[in-house]
Amino acid sequence: MEPQLLRTAAITLGKTITRTVQTLRIGGGSAAPGYFASKLYPRLTTDLIRQFPDGCVIVTGTNGKTTTSALLAGMLRQAGHVTLHNFTGSNMMQGVASVLVQAASLSGEIDASLGLFEIDEATLPRAIAELSPRMVVMNNLFRDQLDRYGEIDTVARHWRRSFEKMPADHVLIVNADDPLLSGLINGAHGRLFYFGIEDDRLAMTKVPRSADSMFCQRCGSSLTYRRIILSHLGDYHCPACGWERPKPSVYAINIEATPVSSRFRIVTPVGPLDVHLNLPGVYNVYNAVGAVTAALAMGVNPATIRACLELATTPFGRGEQIKTGDRTVRLMLAKNPTGYNEVLRTVLFDPLPQHYFLLLNDRIADGRDVSWIWDVDFESLAGRTKSVVVSGTRAADLALRLKHAGVDVTAVDSHVEDAFHRALEFVPTKGRLWTLATYTAMLDFRRVMLRLGLVKGLWE
Ligand SMILES: [Zn+2]
């Protein structure tokens, strides 16, 4: 068959699958259309991506890529880029292909000037090869779903090889506070812009248990920290060889964080931006500063950037607020030790009585091995909770971990809807139920919310 006909056939197939999945509401439909369409016509993604006049941008890293890319998408759109974005967080190549197929006409035309893609860290080398991005934004590298990807060093090695192949005019936006990232960027081609946080008041006194890359990327000695912001992120240097954190050109100072929002100043080469961000936690300050650095490098005007940050709302499952009568449910994704610790650190700021609904699943997208929960600092909750209800496919494992940490577990019920009703019973009027869930558990929970009429579907 002619390549053009084959491409049209592939797009038609992809669109048909998308429609079927939406009609039947069977969920998980964000990868299937791209997967099957690319099977039929393997050059589909490369073909479709080539027509974006402004090229494409990749956002990657273990934690925060959905929020960072959502913030950046808002800024780019406001600045006049017609941006195609894989906003549902389907961040493997099949997900990218699905978004392209959905946006394309049957003849393969896409009405967008720029592609913005959140990409899973293990997929990055393939994404760089197939998408030839003009910019890659890198947030962090944490231990995540090891059973799927192998050791973090393997991921880092593959990244390094991809960066060496990138053309010299490409832009890399890198979190300077992550020694693993700044180490592997050594020798990369392209223009480098570093971002970070410079705020000693937030600093922790010791590296948390979940930190996993505290060795010098040049000589292998232990790194010394002047300041730790979260996990292994901070201001580090190597006492043996003198290697140190690169100086960021864009960074946050004067951070005042609450459980639901934060205020801070972003210092940039074009002047400071004073920001009120409606997203909780220090980790979202990193996400915001990363997005700001990328937007500045794309030539977006600082006033536009600031306005977009003020308007930011929490993306799906990242601190989403759900009203149920006179009580509030706050849904937080917590899928690995670092992410979990930061969510706990944020929630513990909440002056309201602490009520928790914790969900742990072990499906493929969560990682089958749940032993990572032993690296989460649940000890920080001991003696501070009013109620803790545990659910999900591995509820029993989580309950055991919590008991070990000295946390009183109020109830354990693997049935999500029943467990939710029990958890809500403990929450007083005007109270908050902090719901922390792994990826598929979050989808299960949201399905319950949908059935109860408390949220709208993703496609509505
Ligand atoms: Zn060293």
Per DSSP, the residues of 81-98 read: --EEE-TT---SHHHHHH
Q: Measure the CA angle with vertex 346, ends 141 and 228; round to 5°.
A: 50
**How far apart are the CA of 86 and the centre of ligand 1, in A?**
39
> DSSP character for 115?
E
Q: Measure the CA angle with vertex 446, ends 342 and 312; round to 5°.
A: 55
Conformational region of residue 365, where left means phi above 0, alpha means psi within -120 to 50, and beta covers everything else: alpha
**How far apart are the CA of 163 and the centre of ligand 1, in A?**
22
Burial string for 36-50 (b: 16+ CB within 10 Å, else e) reads: bbbebbeebbebbbe
| Residues within 5 A (CB) of ion ligand 1 | 216, 218-219, 221, 238, 240-241, 243
DSSP character string of 278-314? SS-SHHHHHHHHHHHHHHHHTT--HHHHHHHHHH---
Please give the single-letter amino acid code of residue 455.
Answer: V
DSSP character string of 146-195? HHHH--HHHHHHHHHHHHHHS-TT-EEEEETT-HHHHHHTTT--SEEEEE
**How far apart are the CA of 65 and the centre of ligand 1, in A?**
29
Q: What is the CATH number of domain 49-311?
A: 3.40.1190.10
Distance, in Å, from the CA atom of 412 to the CA atom of 396, rounded to the nearest integer, reads 7
- The pTM score is 0.78
**How far apart are the CA of 184 and the centre of ligand 1, in A?**
13
Conformational region of residue 370, where left means phi above 0, alpha means psi within -120 to 50, and beta covers everything else: alpha
Which pLDDT does position 460 carry in this prediction? 37
Show me where the domains of the chain are located: 49-311, 318-451
**How far apart are the CA of 241 and the centre of ligand 1, in A?**
4
**How far apart are the CA of 340 and the centre of ligand 1, in A?**
30
Distance, in Å, from the CA atom of 158 to the CA atom of 122, rounded to the nearest integer, reads 8
Strands 250-257 and 262-267: antiparallel
CB count within 10 Å of CB 331 equals: 24
Distance, in Å, from the CA atom of 46 to the CA atom of 66, rounded to the nearest integer, reads 23
**How far apart are the CA of 243 and the centre of ligand 1, in A?**
5
The torsion angles phi and psi of 274, rounded to 5 degrees, stand at: -95, 125
**How far apart are the CA of 218 and the centre of ligand 1, in A?**
5
**How far apart are the CA of 248 and the centre of ligand 1, in A?**
20
Q: What is the CATH number of domain 318-451?
A: 3.90.190.20
- Give 16's contacts (C-beta < 8 A, 6+ positions apart): none
Tokens 């010299």, located at residue:
168
Strands 327-333 and 355-359: unpaired
Distance, in Å, from the CA atom of 154 to the CA atom of 193, rounded to the nearest integer, reads 24
- Give 220's contacts (C-beta < 8 A, 6+ positions apart): none
**How far apart are the CA of 182 and the centre of ligand 1, in A?**
13
Taking a C-beta distance cutoff of 8 angstroms, is the pair 254, 275 a contact?
no
**How far apart are the CA of 196 and the centre of ligand 1, in A?**
21
**How far apart are the CA of 235 and the centre of ligand 1, in A?**
14
CB count within 10 Å of CB 453 equals: 8
pLDDT by position in tens, the chain (length 460): 788 899 999 999 999 988 887 777 655 557 888 999 999 999 999 999 998 999 999 999 988 888 999 999 999 999 999 999 986 667 888 889 999 999 999 999 999 999 999 998 888 999 999 999 999 999 998 765 444 455 677 777 888 888 887 777 899 999 999 998 898 887 777 899 999 999 988 777 666 654 555 788 889 888 889 888 988 899 999 999 999 999 999 999 999 987 778 899 999 999 999 999 988 888 899 999 999 999 999 999 999 999 899 888 766 556 778 899 999 999 988 888 888 988 898 888 788 889 999 999 998 878 888 999 998 999 999 999 999 999 999 999 999 999 999 999 999 999 999 999 999 999 999 999 999 999 889 989 988 998 898 887 554 3
Distance, in Å, from the CA atom of 298 to the CA atom of 286, rounded to the nearest integer, reads 18
